Amino acid sequence: MKIIPKSREAISGTGAVTPSLVKNVTELKKLPVRLKVQFDGSAVYVPENLMDKFVIRGGNPLLGTIRVSGAKNAALPAMAAAILTDETLVLENIPDVRDIQTERNLLVSMGAEVELGYGRAHHRTTISCRSLVNPEAAYELVKTMRASTLVLGPLVARMGRARVSLPGGCAIGARPIDLHIKGLEQLGATIRQEHGYIEASADRLRGGHIAFDKITVTGTEDLMMAAALAQGETLMENCAREPEVVDLAVLLNKMGAKIEGAGTSTIRIKGVSKLGGARHRIIPDRIEAGTFVIAAALTGGDLTITNCDPLHLNALLQKLEECGVTTTTTGDSIRVKNGHRLKAADMSTEEYPGFPTDMQAQYMALATQAEGTSIITENIFENRFMHAQELVRMGANIKVEGSRAIVRGHTPLSGAAVQCSDLRASASLVIAALVAEGETILDRVYHIDRGYERIEEKLRGANGQIRRIGEMLPKRTQVPAGVA
């Protein structure tokens, strides 16, 4: 059978395609699609992962050991840093998650050579941006991953121009990139906005003074990369202090940059004319680690989370102590042993070293099982409570009032069909399902695949009852426009 879909989007966008409508099987197999058998026995091609669900049965305590992967939010800027040099960058401890594949596609679309190896290759990626031909981040990629905007600074710095789609709205809030743009202007770039794209150009960026109006993680990273190749010195104030920012500065310095102060709110950068290749190991994912810490506390388990940095999780561990959860740490592991009842404690998200917004949803799942009322305040994003309504469907008592969620516990949770809305919301629902009575079916798990490496396998290895299933599609499948 010969199949050629009319466009990649026709299949990788939203729908399924029946084999008879496709004209070139060899081409189709290069796309992220899978052949699925429907209830009536006929087969259709569907976008890989889009249709997967988790089936979770609650009640088991998490026991044993879980190993944490590399930090997605450190790996993404590190991969973007490869743009700054024509030499090879070797990054280790890269997590096997969908956002990393998206970033690889982005770099490849610009002309980079990217090898991404997992398993025996020790989660390593080797990137060469020797010949970059197309300094552009297209809407198709930026809309699926906002961190694509991290290429803006490096592209202008190395190539003198960049065309990056504006990200638009997002499930957790507006998330503009005005501070990235303002910062680049401070470094001498000319910015135009047209047709939904930012076009930035500069012969050579020059050092400047950037005082961020608001703390921004990827903004700090983007401009730190741009300033590394600028002429002269840059002073950046009110910078993000996240460990991921520090990890990027360590990598850039290995490449020959001159950056001081990363991890504090003031960063000084002496621009250099050229950066070289380097080898770097990405830090462990503190949010993945924290997710397992909460899961263990909630299920009353005895779990050791290894390959993590407990110092990056101080705010979470302190809050959990207030909730009555005992943890013991070594240099690179956290043991959570919890046989006690959980106590309610108020929590407000803050920039690092405060309580991370990326742990707010998971904390809310815990709060549903704590005795008393917890007030959770979200200070970073304006719309990050999408999980609350799904938790309510499982039996939680949560009232959202603006940026506050009032959680009254403890209410028993029962399994239900629920939907993931974003990455961390998904994690919260997985955690809640682990203590719910009966079975939870979690839909749209492609959100969780963006940032958690095989979470179901890790949890199953620690006594969790969770499995991934592909959706049985309805009998009549809609054919996407352009395929027939």
Q: Point out the residues that are catalytic.
A: 170
Can you tell me which of 51, 62, 217, 269 binds ligand EPU, judged by CB under 6 A?
217
In the complex, the smallest distance separating the C-beta of residue 77 from ligand EPU, rounded to whole angstroms, is 7
Using CA atoms, how far apart are residues 18 and 411, in angstroms rounded to an integer? 45
First to last CA, the chain: 15
From 89-97, 125-133, 172-180, 249-257, give the range in contact with ligand EPU by CB under 6 A. 172-180
Evaluate whether 226 touches 157 at the Cβ level (below 8 Å): yes
Vertex 100: Cα angle to 72 and 153 (nearest 5): 80
Other C-beta atoms lying within 10 Å of the C-beta of residue 339 = 9
User: In this complex, which beta carbon is closest to ligand EPU, that of residue 347 or of residue 423?
Assistant: 423
By CB under 6 A, tell whether 179 contacts ligand EPU. yes
Tokens of 464: 């969790």
Vertex 106: Cα angle to 102 and 108 (nearest 5): 115
Using CA atoms, how far apart are residues 275 and 277, in angstroms rounded to an integer? 7
Can you tell me which of 358, 390, 449, 453 binds ligand EPU, judged by CB under 6 A?
358
By CB under 6 A, tell whether 19 contacts ligand EPU. no
Other C-beta atoms lying within 10 Å of the C-beta of residue 330 = 10
Instruction: Report which of 168, 155, 147, 142 is spatially closest to residue 199, judged by C-alpha positions.
Output: 155
Evaluate whether 467 touches 456 at the Cβ level (below 8 Å): yes
Using CA atoms, how far apart are residues 438 and 460, in angstroms rounded to an integer? 17
Can you tell me which of 281, 424, 447, 458 binds ligand EPU, judged by CB under 6 A?
424
Phi, psi dihedral angles at 321 (to 5 degrees): -60, -40
Can you tell me which of 19, 160, 173, 461 binds ligand EPU, judged by CB under 6 A?
173
Vertex 465: Cα angle to 464 and 471 (nearest 5): 130
From 10-18, 215-223, 224-232, 278-286, give the range in contact with ligand EPU by CB under 6 A. 215-223
User: In this complex, which beta carbon is closest to ligand EPU, that of residue 104 or of residue 424?
Assistant: 424
Evaluate whether 231 touches 271 at the Cβ level (below 8 Å): yes
By CB under 6 A, tell whether 71 contacts ligand EPU. no
By CB under 6 A, tell whether 237 contacts ligand EPU. no
From 212-220, 293-301, 309-317, 334-342, give the range in contact with ligand EPU by CB under 6 A. 212-220
User: In this complex, which beta carbon is closest to ligand EPU, that of residue 111 or of residue 263?
Assistant: 263
Instruction: Report which of 359, 357, 372 is spatially closest to residue 323, judged by C-alpha positions.
Output: 372
In the complex, the smallest distance separating the C-beta of residue 223 from ligand EPU, rounded to whole angstroms, is 10
User: In this complex, which beta carbon is closest to ligand EPU, that of residue 73 or of residue 338?
Assistant: 73
Per-position x/- string for 370-409, each x denoting binding to ligand EPU as judged by CB under 6 A, each - no binding: ----------xx----------------------------
Total binding residues for ligand EPU by CB under 6 A? 26
By CB under 6 A, tell whether 420 contacts ligand EPU. no
Can you tell me which of 147, 228, 323, 466 binds ligand EPU, judged by CB under 6 A?
147
By CB under 6 A, tell whether 153 contacts ligand EPU. no
User: In this complex, which beta carbon is closest to ligand EPU, that of residue 33 or of residue 199?
Assistant: 199
Q: Name the helix (H) or strand (E) containing 100.
A: helix 98-109
Evaluate whether 327 touches 334 at the Cβ level (below 8 Å): yes
Which residues contact residue 389 at a Cβ distance below 8 angstroms, ignoring those fewer than 6 apart? none
In the complex, the smallest distance separating the C-beta of residue 391 from ligand EPU, rounded to whole angstroms, is 18
- What is the distance, to the nearest Å, from the Cα of residue 454 to the centroid of all Cα atoms in its chain? 14
Can you tell me which of 19, 176, 277, 372 binds ligand EPU, judged by CB under 6 A?
176
Using CA atoms, how far apart are residues 282 and 114, in angstroms rounded to an integer? 17
Tokens of 121: 């290759």
Q: Residue 45 in 3-state DSSP?
A: strand
Binding to ligand EPU in span 280-339, by CB under 6 A:
none
In the complex, the smallest distance separating the C-beta of residue 145 from ligand EPU, rounded to whole angstroms, is 8
Beta bridge partners of 375: 406
In the complex, the smallest distance separating the C-beta of residue 102 from ligand EPU, rounded to whole angstroms, is 11
Beta bridge partners of 278: 89
Can you tell me which of 102, 216, 291, 428 binds ligand EPU, judged by CB under 6 A?
216
By CB under 6 A, tell whether 219 contacts ligand EPU. yes
Q: Residue 277 in 3-state DSSP?
A: coil
In the complex, the smallest distance separating the C-beta of residue 384 from ligand EPU, rounded to whole angstroms, is 8
Can you tell me which of 123, 163, 180, 410 binds ligand EPU, judged by CB under 6 A?
180
From 89-97, 123-131, 167-175, 366-374, give the range in contact with ligand EPU by CB under 6 A. 167-175
The binding site for ligand EPU (CB under 6 A) comprises 73, 76, 146-147, 173-180, 214, 216-219, 240, 244, 357-358, 380-381, 423-424, 451
